[in-house]
Amino acid sequence: MLFSIIIPVYNRPHELEELLASLTAQAFERSVFDFEVVVIDDGSTRRCEAVALEYTTRLRLQYHYQANTGQGFARNAGFEQARGDYFLVFDSDCILPPEYLQTVYTYLQHHQLDAFGGPDAAHASFSMTQKAISYAMTSPYSTGGIRGGKHSAEKFRPRSFNMGLSRKVWQKVGGYKITRMGEDIEFAIRIERAGFRVGLIRKAYLYHKRRTSFKQFYDQLHFFGRARINVRRFYPQELKLVHTLPALFVCFLLVLPFACFLLPSLAQLQGLVLALYASLLFSDAVVKTKDLSVASLGVWAVFVQLTAYGVGFITEIFFPLAKKKQAKFPTHK
């Protein structure tokens, strides 16, 4: 069997249904049964078994329910059940375009990669808020510019919403050592350091729903900022200057009200910088989204993103949440 698709899910039966439906629509030159789907229901209170059972006649599908361990260790459970030569890992809130599997298959026929990933995009059915958030997460002028890609500030490392690895990677490196707080970054670094070839398959994109409100988006990015500091605990040298930019953005905003009273000329300069940055974001978002309303929301989404990530980054330095998380979910050996 070529591909094993690993899907951890927690309380998202409707989104799982959309992902499974997109898998049945794959335009794959090999048989639809040349890939399997392994769903790990990670302690959901709204179990996804009924949704999974609906697709057992249309997909080669395994469904496993377990006590909650967190997304990283849920993926490990999927790896242990998988039978394919390659493991493809998706978040449950993703939708695959029909050509996804064929794109990955064709690319691997001509390029030797042991681990890989692809980008994400906004689906036409997404709300304006979701499209704005998608812009913020993929823009080279936001934290999307440090996630690794064609125009990014650091080399590409696959993230677990859209990630693939060969069976031999799993056999040599093992699975996730931590279950949350930057677990995919730590995993990707370990794969890379083991000498495996890692790369981006640019055309292997998928639609990632992410969050449906700016409050949810703030909470998610706040957690991401904390996660970056958690990764530093494993690999101190992996924390780069570019990762501190959102924290510097937060400091910039904090200085602004004081400057208004104490140094008006500095406040004017800061206001000009913010206006120019917002104009750059808006212009880029208009080009990317082709929608003025989404572009306007996209500017706000980037400001929310940078603020949340920066606050989380700073907070984790002084009030580490990671130690509490790791007490609940100990690291794997």
Rounded CA separation 159/142 (Å)? 17
Question: CA-to-CA distance for 67 and 20, rounded, in angstroms?
Answer: 22
Distance separating alpha carbons of residues 33 and 165, to the nearest angstrom: 20
In the listed set 212, 238, 262, which residue is the last one of a domain according to the structure?
212
Q: What is the mean pLDDT of the chain?
A: 92
Question: 166: helix, coil or strand?
Answer: strand
**Residue pair 154/51 in contact by the 8 Å Cβ criterion:** no
Q: Which pLDDT tens digit goes with each residue over 188-199?
A: 999 999 999 999
Same domain, residue pair 192 and 284: no
Does 251 reside within a domain?
A: yes
The pLDDT of residue 211 is 79
Would 136 be classed as within a structural domain? yes
**Is residue 223 one of the residues assigned to a domain?**
no
Domain-embedded: residue 173: yes
Lowest mean pLDDT among 19-23, 28-32, 139-143, 197-201: 28-32
In a domain, 219, yes or no: no
What is the tens place of the pLDDT at every residue in 240-279? 988 999 999 999 999 999 999 999 999 999 999 999 999 9
Distance CA 304, CA 321 (A): 21
Classify 204 as helix, strand or coil. coil
Q: Which domain holds residue 310?
A: 230-328
Q: 241 and 158: one domain?
A: no
Q: Tell me how far apart the alpha carbons of residues 293 and 122 are, in angstroms, rounded to a whole number.
A: 15
* Lowest mean per-residue pLDDT among 68-72, 126-130, 151-155, 301-305: 151-155
Looking at the fold, whether 37 and 78 belong to one and the same domain comes out as yes
| 29 and 142 inside one domain | yes
| Domain identity same for 66 and 205 | yes
**pLDDT tops 50 at residue 146:** no
Statement to judge: residues 187 and 147 lie in one domain: yes
Does the CA dihedral 13-14-16-21 come out positive or negative? positive
Q: Tell me, what DSSP letter sits at residue 203?
A: T
| pLDDT value at 73 more than 60 | yes
DSSP of 268-333, one letter per residue?
Answer: HHHHHHHHHHHHHHHHHHHHHH--HHHHHHHHHHHHHHHHHHHHHHHHHHHS-SHHHHHHHSPPP-
Q: Does residue 217 lie in a domain region?
A: no
Tell whether 170 and 308 lie within a shared domain.
Answer: no
What does the pLDDT read at residue 28? 82
Domains held by the chain: number = 2
pLDDT in tens, 300-318: 999 999 999 999 999 999 9
Question: What is the pLDDT confidence band of residue 82, given thresholds at 50, 70 and 90?
Answer: very high
Pairing of strands 206-208, 60-66: unpaired
244 in any annotated domain: yes
Residues 199 and 111 grouped into a single domain:
yes
- Which of 157, 179, 212 terminates a domain? The answer is 212
Q: Indicate whether 170 and 254 sit together in one domain.
A: no
- Domain assignment present for residue 114? The answer is yes
1 pLDDT exceeds 90?
no
Say how many CA atoms lie within 13 Å of 282 toward its Cβ.
11
Look up the CATH number of the domain holding residue 191: 3.90.550.10
**Does one domain contain both 132 and 237?**
no
Looking at residue 324, its pLDDT comes to: 61
What is the rounded CA–CA span in Å between residue 23 and residue 5?
10
- Give me the amino acid identity at 165: L
Are 24 and 134 found together in one domain? yes
Indicate if 285 and 160 belong to the same structural domain. no
Does the pLDDT of residue 19 top 90, yes or no?
Answer: yes
212, 242, 273: which is the final residue of a domain?
Answer: 212
